[in-house]
Each structure stands twice: as C-alpha cells, then as structure tokens.
Structure 1
C-alpha cells in the first residue's frame, strides 16, 4: 500500500468515527409491524353494541357502569353548583377524525373552573343527531367541547342543537367541514356559540366513543342553540348518525348547575 493510500484510508476511518460520535445510531428494524388501530363504527358488526368485542382495550364500552350518553330529565334540576367560564376566541384546525368533524384548539379560547379545578378547551366535535336525549327525545345535533385539566382529567361541555336560524358563530367550523382535508386555521368565538341560558345538567359519565373511558365530568346545557337546516345537513353529510345510543343511568344522580361568565 502506498503512503498516499494509507493516508486516505486513515482519513476515512477518522471521518467514520466522528460521524458515529455526533449522530445517533439507526434504530434496529422492528421484528413485528405495529398493529393497525381497531376499527369501530356506528353500525353493523363494529357498531356500538359490539364495541366491547372489537378490541380488548374497548372492554369498558360493554362492562362500564357509568357510561355516556344518557337520557336527561325533561327539565333541568334546581341548581346546586356553579361553574366559572371564561369563553373567548379560539384558534385551531378543523379536520375529519373518521368519525366526526373536529375543531382542535391551540389550547386557548376557553377556561372553565369546576369544583375548584381549572380546565382548558382541547377540541370541539359534532354528532348528528344528538347523543344525549331529553325525556327520550334527541336534538337535531350536539356539540361536544372537550376540556382537560393539568392532570388530563376530562370535562365535556355538551351543547344541544335545534333547527332554526343559522349560527354565525359556528359558520367557520361548518364551512370548513365541507373541505376538511385542507386543515386551514379557523377562528371560533366560543362565547358566541353558547345559548342565552347556561343552566345545565351535570353528571359523571364516560367518553361516548371507544375506549369509553369513565370518570368524565359531563355538563350539558339545558337550552339548545340554533343552527339552520343547511348547516345541520352539512354536518350530517360529513358523518350521518354518528351518535351512540343512550346508556343506563344506574344509580348515578343528575344534578343542576349554573354557569357564570367571566
């Protein structure tokens, strides 16, 4: 080997050591590919009655005793609690989860204090028709504003929807529902979405979709908001009948509450 060849070989060796020291080793290829997410739906063999059998992680959907949604009393019980709500403008993306059209907040826009615990808005999505019923009757649609505290405990603010005048506050969300693939930023005036009366039903329940996790605080406003037939049709066209049937209330109590805007 010539002196020039030995010099080039030494330089290449030093370069290789330097690259390994500065970078991270490539991960070993996985022996088994990641399992695909379990498929569930709102009808057929993977519908609500079968969620508990679709995946072992969905067992609570079948055996849970504090499940949501439920049938609510015809009138809101007398208020025994008070919630502090700061509802402002929220920004985020609108996209299709495969089961609902969803607005994902940037983490600002709503702060809600319930039982001395502070929650912030994470996302909002729509169900057509409503999941909660009142005295056995569903509403035309239902919005779920999902809030979380610092420990990821969830509180869902449910807003029932009746057909009537168009909602200007929800127009950006609904318009984006027709072309959610673009994932454009949307500004949502949370305070303008709320109904005039904020009396509400409160109870302890669960997620209404798999894995149906329990220990979710529900606050369902007793007064519906209004959306036009065209707006409701737009949401229904995106996902028709994406509503879980009501679940047994068991020994749970539904109490009444009020909301103070701040």
Structure 2
C-alpha cells in the first residue's frame, strides 16, 4: 500500500527559542534559534533504497524488517469458506488525483463510502494503484492492484484490495485513469465506488501492515477474491506513472487467512 503524509507514524516539529537580556540592561533583540528540519528518509522500490533496505533507512522504518505481521502476502488459490461478512455503503466519492512519488492516488474527503467490518465503520480516505499487484494468489501476481484505504473514528486502518487483470476496460475507473495521464494538473474526479467493485464480494481477510514505510502493523486487510478487469491501455497508463511499485510478499508466519462475504448498498 502506498501512503501519503497522513499514513506516516511521526510528525516533524520546528521550535524557536528567543533569548532575553538581563533585567537591568536594555532589552536586546536576539535572532531566534531554529532546530533543523529532518527530511523524511527517501525510499523506493529498487536499488539501495528498495524494500530490502527500508528498515535501515530510518529508525521509524524498523517494522519493515522486524515486524511479524507484514503485508503483502501470498494468498491461497481458493478463498476460504466465508466466516465473516462486510457491508459497504457506497456512493460517489470526490477527490484530487495526484502523484505521491510512489503511486497514483485519489485523496477523498472521507464521505464517499463506508465499510463496516466487525461492527466498526471505516470511511474511505484514499485509493492508489500498484503495478503489478502486491498480493499474489498461489504465487502469481495480477497485472495491478487497487488499494482503497479506510480509517475508523480512532484512526485504525482497513485496506480493501482489488486485484486487476488485463481485459475489458473499466468504465468506472476511467476518470481516475484519464487524470493519471496528466498528473501535473491535479484533477478533481468523481469515482463511483460501487461500480469499481467486482461482481462477487467474497474475500480474503487477514491482519497485516502498510506495504510502504513505516510498515505499520495492525492494519486489517480485505482482499477481493474476484478480480476486476482493466484494458491494457489503462494498465499502461498507471505503469507509465509508476511501474513495479510493488513490495515483495512477506512471510505469513502464525497468521491465518480467513474467508469473508459481503454486500453493498448503493446510497447515492
């Protein structure tokens, strides 16, 4: 999953300290002393700043190596029998399309779609794309993967993953794809979230992490078992912005992947 500045775990601060002269002397103005601003560590998907090196780039990235519940993972060939259910209340979402430096994203106002999981409501915050997919199924990647990042009222994250195969064009994603072809304009688009979803909402569910630094864990993943299709031209447009922006799969460890069902209610 790629993330913008709101997904990072720490904030940067700048403090100014003003020195005051002694009481019996006339006050003298002293230039404030500023602490240097620390730039976020640069990371990428290849070379010395690629996934194998993320943990060494910044102390805040230690979970990328030390974490035991990391994402993405290799999913089983068949979706396990559903044991849980999600509910999506979907309407059109509006947001700006931009280049985060690692993926093409839409940042929404948090009002376009609500996903209910385990009686907790998560609102859609942003959507971004990875080419090829980050999750694999029985060892095989898909042509691309969409991540719909949600947050609940306490800031807990749930990511809805949708695998993409090459085939018919996606009309629902056309506004996003067209904006991705000229990212300098930072277009505002309207996305029909319900129309983006696959026909079946059977899904894989597991506890994982962000797929980008700082690789924060305790992220709930819901990955659709049925892919959607995009045309070769649409996939090429995303790849033209960021190609191979996929973290390799991580060990499953002691975790269990369970199956889920779902239903969608179109509210707008």
TM-score by length of 2: 0.86
Instruction: State how 1:56-75 maps to structure 2 within 5 Å.
Output: 56-75=59-78
Q: Distance in 2 between matches of 1:87 and 1:259?
A: 13
Q: SS state of the match for residue 234, structure 1?
A: helix
Identify the match of residue 108 of structure 2 among 98, 105, 109.
105
Identify the match of residue 123 of structure 1 among 122, 126, 140.
126
Larger CA deviation: 226-235 vs 106-115: 106-115
Structure 1 counterpart of 2:13: none
Deviation at 1:180, TM superposition (A): 1.5
TM-score by length of 1: 0.88
Structure 2 counterpart of 1:221: 224
Deviation at 1:172, TM superposition (A): 0.5
Would you identify which runs of 4 or more consecutive aligned residues in structure 1 move more than 3 Å?
none
Q: SS state of the match for residue 61, structure 1?
A: helix
Structure 2 counterpart of 1:95: 98
Q: How many correspondences in the alignment?
A: 235
The root-mean-square deviation of aligned C-alpha atoms, in Å, is: 0.8
Q: If you compute each CA radius of gyration, which structure gives the higher value, 1 or 2?
A: 1
Structure 2 counterpart of 1:34: 37
Q: SS state of the match for residue 158, structure 1?
A: strand
Which structure 1 segments of 5+ residues have no match? 1-27
Deviation at 1:30, TM superposition (A): 4.5
1:188 aligns with 2:198: no
Structure 1 counterpart of 2:234: 231
Larger CA deviation: 48-57 vs 29-38: 29-38
Instruction: State how 1:1-262 maps to structure 2 within 5 Å.
Output: 29-262=32-265
Cα deviation, 1:79-110, whole Å, max 9, x if unaligned, reads 00011111110001000000000000111111
More helix by share: 1
Q: Distance in 1 between matches of 2:156 and 2:63?
A: 17
Q: SS state of the match for residue 205, structure 2?
A: strand
